[in-house]
């Protein structure tokens, strides 16, 4: 009897442990209970926030990629890179294929706007590091920064989601080659079915034009028998021209002035800077980059 009771207690403890572990596991897909627009800086109205949230969730479900927008007034002493990466990792964000306790798992992109130091930063993780390669982030930085500079915050995050949708469309369709995460010149092919017919036609036209140009150039050279002369004596009849006097007469001069371009002092911000592939404090691999606005 005692053994049976002990066995039941052990099984109950084991079941509780399994349930406890499951409760802390990150769900497969994404955790829809988490907000995708976290506006700590208060830049958005309730309707703007709700609209951006709905659009982000629609893109997440369509592309298996988490998308997060964060605004704040302080980074709590961290760099934009560390703040963004930690926010992504420790808050449970990231699309996952299976339920897991691994904090380093997950894919997605997070955009951070820090009003305190005027930071604009993008953090990518998992397949997001490939879908949003460095040139893509540079392009996204320019588009979002232009709207932030005009204090059009809803438009800034709308531009972010526009770019996210465009780059994810290219990535998931598999019709485009992407730069590797380090921003180098190595291309990664995602099974777009080889070279597209349009590319073949374009290359063929270029080769045809090149061949035609070379042929015409060759024929033109054969027709042109004239050769340049160093002096005009070969075109003159000997003794038919005598120069009896010579003088130089100054007629006029022309002076032009061009104003030197001045750097604008009102543009503010700075250029995009890549953080490259790096590890966060959780040990996760991240990509990203950003600058000031």
CATH number corresponding to 29-194+271-292: 3.10.310.50
More reliable by pLDDT, 30 or 12: 30
Of the pLDDT bands very low, low, confident and very high (cuts 50, 70, 90), residue 110 is very high
Using DSSP, how many helices (H) and how many strands (E) does the chain show? 7, 9
Chain Cα centroid distance, residue 293: 16
> Domain locations in the chain?
29-194+271-292
CB 73, CB 84: distance < 8 Å: no
What is the SS3 assignment for 32? coil
pLDDT at res. 217: 72
Angle at 63 between CA 61 and CA 69, to 5 degrees: 75
Q: Which of 121, 120, 140 is nearest to 132 (CA)?
A: 140
How would you classify the pairing of strands 119-125 and 108-114?
antiparallel
77-98 confidence digits (pLDDT tens)? 999 999 999 999 999 999 998 8
pTM (predicted TM-score):
0.63
Residue with tokens 């907000």: 35
Residue with tokens 């027709």: 223
173-225 confidence digits (pLDDT tens)? 765 543 333 333 333 333 333 333 344 445 556 776 777 677 667 666 666 66
Per-residue pLDDT at 237 exceeds 90: no
What is the SS3 assignment for 76? coil
pLDDT at res. 173: 78
């Amino acid at each position: 009897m005692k053994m049976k009771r002990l066995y039941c207690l052990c099984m109950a403890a084991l079941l509780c442990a399994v349930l406890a572990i499951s409760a802390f596991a990150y769900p497969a897909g994404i955790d829809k209970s988490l907000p995708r627009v976290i506006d700590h800086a208060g830049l958005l109205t309730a309707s703007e926030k709700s609209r951006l949230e709905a659009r982000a969730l629609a893109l997440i479900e369509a592309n298996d990629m988490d998308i997060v927008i964060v605004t704040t007034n302080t980074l709590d002493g961290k760099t934009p890179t560390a703040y963004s990466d930690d926010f992504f990792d420790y808050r449970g964000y990231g699309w996952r294929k299976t339920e897991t306790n691994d904090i380093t798992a997950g894919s997605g992109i997070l955009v951070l706007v820090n009003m305190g130091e005027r930071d604009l930063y993008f953090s990518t993780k998992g397949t997001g590091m490939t879908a949003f390669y460095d040139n893509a982030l540079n392009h996204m930085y320019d588009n979002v920064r232009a709207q932030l500079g005009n204090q059009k915050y809803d438009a800034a995050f709308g531009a972010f989601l526009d770019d996210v949708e465009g780059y994810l469309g290219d990535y998931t369709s598999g019709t485009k080659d992407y730069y590797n995460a380090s921003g180098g010149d190595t291309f990664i092919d995602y099974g777009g079915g080889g070279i597209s017919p349009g590319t073949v036609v374009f290359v063929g036209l270029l080769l045809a034009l090149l061949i035609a140009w070379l042929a015409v150039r060759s024929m033109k050279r054969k027709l042109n028998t004239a050769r340049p002369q160093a002096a005009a004596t070969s075109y003159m009849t000997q003794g038919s021209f005598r120069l009896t006097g010579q003088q130089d007469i100054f007629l006029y001069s022309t002076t032009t002035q061009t104003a030197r371009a001045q750097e604008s002092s009102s543009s503010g911000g700075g250029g995009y800077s890549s953080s490259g592939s790096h590890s966060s404090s959780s040990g996760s691999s991240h990509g990203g980059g950003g600058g000031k606005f």
